[in-house]
Structure 1
Amino acid sequence: MTGTELIEWWITRLEAERIRLTETGQDAPVVASQGRLVHTTGGLHLYEFIVPAGVQLSVDLPVSVVPADEEDTTEGVVLRQGGNSLFVQLVDALGCDVPSVTLVPDQAGLVSTSASRLKDMLAKPDLYHLGPTERLASLLQLQDIEAEAFPSASSVFTTVWSDDRSFRRQKLGNLAMELIRANKRILLISPDHLACDEMVGMVGRTMKAGGLNHTTWITRYELPIVSQAGGVDLQALGFEAQMHQFYAKSQGNKASLKHKYDRFRELAPFLSQKEAKQKDLDEVRLLEWRLVTQLRDLQVKMADVQKTLKDFEHLPLFQRLTMQAVGKNAASLKQYCALYQGQMDQLNKELDLAKGRIQQLAPEAAVPSGRRAEFEELQEQIAKLGGTKKVRELLAAEEHPNRQAFIQNRRLVAATPMRVASDPLFSRVRFDVLMVDEAPRIAAPSLLAAAGLVRERIIVSGDPHEIATAGQWAMPRPVTHAAP
C-alpha cells in the first residue's frame, strides 16, 4: 500500500472501532475514590484516584470528572494507570482531597478524533507533509524480521533497532542534540507518559553533558508523571510550567511598565509646573538685574553730581561760567541730587519687591535631586516603546497565552502519540524531524498522524521483535493460494 492507501485503510478501521465502542457501551462510567491532588502546574492539576479492581483505562483517554455533589464537572486526560491507581490530568482543581468522583470515559470520541486527523491529512495535503510518511507507511506494513532489514539510515528515514533500550535511547539523545545544534525542530513521541518522561530525561542529560541549556530548548507537553529523570528536573520542562513562568514574567514586565508609566505621568505635570515657576523666576531675576544696573548708573551719576556740588565754589571762574551756561549751578545740581535720589528710592522699592518675589519663587521652582534625571530616563524608555500612545495600548491589551506561538519557540517537544493525534494544537504546528521512541508499541494511526507534521526526516527507534508481540501495526496479510 502507498501512504495514502494505508491512511485510508486505518480510517476505515478506526470508524469501525468507533461504531463498535458506541454500540457496545464501552464508555461506561467508573466510580473512583480516595482522590488526592498530586501537584499543580500552571492551569493543570494532576490527581490520583483509586478505581475498582478490573477497571482499565487507556493512556490519553479523555474523561469527564463528575464530583459526588454533581457540581463543577471538569474535563481531564488519563496519564497513567498502575494497578488500581489512576493518574488524571484535570483542567480544574477539585481540592486537595476528593472522597469520590465519577469518571466518564470517551474512548469512542478519542478514536473519532484520531480518524478525523487522518481524514484531514488526506483532505488537505498542502497543509501536511506526506513525503516522509510514505517511508513510514512502508515500514508499518512489515513484520519484525523484514523491519529489522529495512534500510536504516537516509536523509529522510532512519531506524535505530536494538533489543537494548538504554542503547536506543542514548542514540536518540545524541541524535536530538545534533539536530538541535543544527537548528532543527523536533517532535519526540513515546508510547506512554512514563516512557516520555524517561526519554526527556535522557535528552536533557545528553544536552547538559554537551554544554547545551536543555531548559531553553525542551518542553514536555503534558504534566510529567515523575519529578526527575536522568538527573533532570522534569517539572521545569513541563509545557504548562514554562508557559506559566513565561506569562508570569510577562505580567511582571507589564506591571513594571505600568509603574513606570504612572510615574512618568506623575512627574510630567510636576516638572511642567516647576518649569513654569523657573520661567517666572528667570524673568524676575532678569528684572532684578536691570533694576540693579539702573540703580548703579544712578548712584554713579549721584556721586558725580555730589562731587561737583562740593567742589563748585572752588572751581575756576571760567569753569563755573561754562557750567552755568548749560544750566548747571549750585541750585540745579541740588535739584539733580533730589531727582536722582527719588529715582533711586523708587528703584530700591522695586528691587525689594523683586527680591521678595525671587525668595518666593526659588523654592517653588526648585527640582529635588534626581527627579529630572529620573523623568528623562522614563521619557527615553517610553519613546523606545513607541511613545505614550503605544504604551497605553500595551497596558490596555489583554494577554491571552498563545500556546501555538510558545510551542513553536521550542526546539524539542515531547509528547505521547495519541495526544499529538488528538490535540488540535498539533494540527497547527509543524516540525522538521519526528523521533519515535519505542515505535513498535505505538499504534500505526498515531504514528501516521505524527508523521504528517514533519517536513524532513523520521527517526524510528525500538526493538523490532516487539512488532509482532505488541500488535500495534497489525494488518491483514495478503492471502496467497497455491496453484492447483
Structure 2
Amino acid sequence: MKAFDLLPALIQLVAHQESAGGDATGLAARIRHRLEDISHHSTSYYFGPADRLVPWVAPDHPAPEPALRSTILTSVLTPVWEPDRQARRTRLCAIMTELVKANKRVLLIAPDNRTLDETLLASAKALRGAGLQYRSFLCRYEPPTIAHEGGINLRELSFDAQVSAFLGKSQSDKAGLRRKLTRYLELAPILRYKAEKQKDLDEVRHLEWRLLSAMGDVQSRIHRLEETLARYESLAIWHRLGMQVVGSNVGTMQENCRLYEVQKQEYLQELEVAQARINELKPEAYVEPEMRPEYDELKDEIHRLGGVERVREVLATEEATSRRPFLQAKRVIAATAAKVAGDTIFAPLRYDALLVEDAPHIPLPLLFICACMTRERIVLAGDPRDLPEPRPTEEGWLMGWPTDLAAESLSPTGTVQS
C-alpha cells in the first residue's frame, strides 16, 4: 500500500469526526480540507518519505512487537524507538544537529506544546554544544510554555519575537535610508549650484588673466615710448630721420602714449569689474572640505541601490503583512502537529526533513499531512509501548496508529492569516 492510497480512508475518518459534532475548534474541518487539497493537488506534495510510514501506521498484519512492524532499514525513514525519554531526545537532537550542519530545512513537531518546548530546549543545547548559534537556526512558531531553562530563553526563539525584531530592524534600516536619501537630495542641488559658480569663477579668472596680460603689454609699450621721448633729442640725426621715415616722431609718439593710456584705463576698469565678480563668486563656489566626500559616499550608496527612484519606491513600500517569508527563512521550525496541519500559513511550505517527537501520540491525519510536506527524510521518535494494536476502523481500514483528532494531548489551534 502507498501513502496516497490512505488518503480516502483518512478523509472519511476526519469527515466522520467532523460530522459527529465534536469539532468545536474547527480543527477537523481544516484537516479535512487540507487532506482533500493533497488529494486534488498531489503533484505539489511529496509521497516518497510518506510511503515509508505505511508499514508503521497501517500494517498488513500484526507484529509481536510494535517496534518490529517494519524491519526495512532506509535512510528515508529513521525510527528512534526508545522508552527512555532523555536518551531518545539525545538521539533526536544529534540527528537535528547533523541536518542543520548539512544546511537542511527541518520541521520539528510534537503532539503538545510542553513536549515540543522540552524537545526544543534539548535541541538548543545540542546545537550550542556543537558550537552553533542556536538562535540563528531555531524558531518556535507558537508561544512557548516554558520561558527559559539552562541559560536558554525560549521566548527569544518564538516566531512573534523574531518577526518583531526583524520588522524593527527593517524600520530602522528604512529610517537610515530615508535620512541618506534626504541628505543626498539636499547636497545634490547645492553642489550643482556650486559647480556652476565654480565654472563662472574659472571663466572670470581667465578673463582677469587675459586683462592683466593685455595691460602688461600696454604698460610696456608706454614705458618704451616714454623712454624714447626722453632721449629723443640725444639720438643721432640719422636715427631720428629713420624713425620719421616710418612715421615715428615726437608728435605721433605722444599721441600713441595718450591712446595707450586710455586703453590702459579701460583695462583697469574691466579688471576692477572682474575682480569684484571674483570676490562675489568665491564664497558662492566654496565647498566645505567634508561636503564633497559625504556627497560622493551618498551618491555611491544610492547608485548601488538602483538610483533615487528605486530608493523612493522601497521607502514607499509598506512592510508585507505576510509572515510566511519569515518562516521560509528559518532553518528549523518547531510547532505542534495540529498547528502545522491546520494553519494555512504552513500549506505551501516544504521541508527537507521531518522530526517527530512522541510520534505515537500524534493522530495519523496530522502526521500524514506533515509527512507529505517532507522531501527527503522522516525521523519518528517515541516510546514503542505507546503504539496501539492494529484495529479496523468503522470503514474497514486496518489502522495501527491513533486517528482521533480530539485526543487530550492536542493543544488548541487557531487559523492564522498568512
Q: Of 47, 50, 63, which residue of structure 2 is paired with 1:133?
A: 50
Aligned position for 2:355: 435
Q: Partner amino acid for 2:15?
A: E
CA contact (8 A) 2:351 2:373 kept: yes
CA distance in 2, matches of 1:212, 1:428: 28
Please list every run of 5 or more consecutive structure 1 residues that lacks an aligned counterpart in the other structure: 28-105
Q: Partner amino acid for 1:362?
A: K
Aligned position for 2:266: 346
1:364 is the counterpart of 2:284: yes
Match of 1:313, SS state, is coil
Aligned position for 2:85: 165
1:218 and 1:153, CA in 2 relative to 1: closer, same or farther beyond 3 A? farther
* Deviation of the 1:404 alpha carbon: 2.4
Q: Of 13, 21, 31, which residue of structure 2 is paired with 1:114?
A: 31
Aligned position for 2:406: none
Aligned position for 1:376: 296
Within 5 Å, which residues of 2 pair with 1:227-266?
A: 227-266=147-186
Aligned position for 2:407: none
Match of 1:158, SS state, is strand
Aligned position for 1:60: none
* Deviation of the 1:289 alpha carbon: 0.6
Aligned position for 2:67: 148
Q: Deviations over 1:297-344 (max 9, x none)?
A: 011111111111111111111101111111212222222221111111
1:261 and 1:246, CA in 2 relative to 1: closer, same or farther beyond 3 A? same
Q: Partner amino acid for 1:238?
A: S
CA contact (8 A) 2:117 2:146 kept: yes
CA distance in 1, matches of 2:250, 2:225: 10
Match of 2:20, SS state, is helix
1:298 is the counterpart of 2:222: no
Identity of aligned residues (%): 38
Aligned pair count? 394
CA contact (8 A) 1:202 1:230 kept: no
Match of 2:338, SS state, is helix
CA distance in 1, matches of 2:224, 2:293: 52
1:6 and 1:306, CA in 2 relative to 1: closer, same or farther beyond 3 A? same
1:416 is the counterpart of 2:336: yes
CA distance in 1, matches of 2:38, 2:64: 30
1:457 and 1:182, CA in 2 relative to 1: closer, same or farther beyond 3 A? same
CA contact (8 A) 2:9 2:397 kept: no
Q: Partner amino acid for 1:373?
A: P
Match of 1:415, SS state, is strand
Moved beyond 6 Å, runs of 4+ = 477-480
CA distance in 2, matches of 1:172, 1:14: 30
User: Which is worse superposed, 138-147 or 267-276?
Assistant: 138-147
Q: Deviations over 1:206-245 (max 9, x none)?
A: 1111111211121111111222244322112111211221
CA contact (8 A) 1:185 1:431 kept: yes
Aligned position for 1:179: 99
Aligned position for 2:20: 20
* Deviation of the 1:113 alpha carbon: 0.7
Match of 2:52, SS state, is helix
Aligned position for 2:41: 124
CA distance in 2, matches of 1:378, 1:464: 64
CA distance in 2, matches of 1:416, 1:272: 61
CA distance in 2, matches of 1:293, 1:163: 104
Q: Partner amino acid for 1:7?
A: L
Q: Partner amino acid for 1:4?
A: F
Q: Of 308, 312, 316, which residue of structure 2 is paired with 1:396?
A: 316
Aligned position for 1:3: 3
CA contact (8 A) 2:109 2:356 kept: yes
Q: Which of structures 1 and 2 has the larger relative contact order (alpha carbons within 8 angstroms, sep 6+)?
A: 2
Q: Deviations over 1:431-461 (max 9, x none)?
A: 1111000111111111111111001111000
* Deviation of the 1:146 alpha carbon: 3.4
Aligned position for 1:91: none
TM-score, length of structure 2 as denominator length: 0.89
Match of 1:420, SS state, is helix
Match of 2:267, SS state, is helix
CA contact (8 A) 2:194 2:285 kept: yes
1:413 and 1:145, CA in 2 relative to 1: closer, same or farther beyond 3 A? farther
Please list every run of 5 or more consecutive structure 2 residues that lacks an aligned counterpart in the other structure: 399-418
CA distance in 1, matches of 2:205, 2:8: 92
Q: Partner amino acid for 2:352?
A: D
CA distance in 2, matches of 1:338, 1:167: 116
* Deviation of the 1:112 alpha carbon: 1.0
Aligned position for 2:405: none
* C-alpha RMSD over aligned residues: 2.1
CA contact (8 A) 2:138 2:330 kept: yes
Within 5 Å, which residues of 2 pair with 1:439-458?
A: 439-458=359-378
CA contact (8 A) 1:432 1:457 kept: yes
* Deviation of the 1:4 alpha carbon: 3.1
* Deviation of the 1:415 alpha carbon: 0.5
CA distance in 2, matches of 1:250, 1:479: 52
Match of 2:231, SS state, is helix
CA contact (8 A) 2:66 2:385 kept: no
Aligned position for 1:460: 380
User: Which is worse superposed, 138-147 or 213-222?
Assistant: 138-147
* Deviation of the 1:2 alpha carbon: 4.2
| Structure ranking higher in helix proportion | 2
1:314 and 1:466, CA in 2 relative to 1: closer, same or farther beyond 3 A? same
CA distance in 2, matches of 1:248, 1:475: 53
CA distance in 2, matches of 1:10, 1:379: 61
CA distance in 2, matches of 1:358, 1:290: 14
CA distance in 2, matches of 1:225, 1:398: 33
CA contact (8 A) 2:302 2:308 kept: yes
Match of 2:303, SS state, is helix
1:207 is the counterpart of 2:124: no
Aligned position for 1:97: none
User: Which is worse superposed, 458-467 or 328-337?
Assistant: 328-337
CA contact (8 A) 1:145 1:465 kept: no
CA contact (8 A) 2:110 2:359 kept: yes
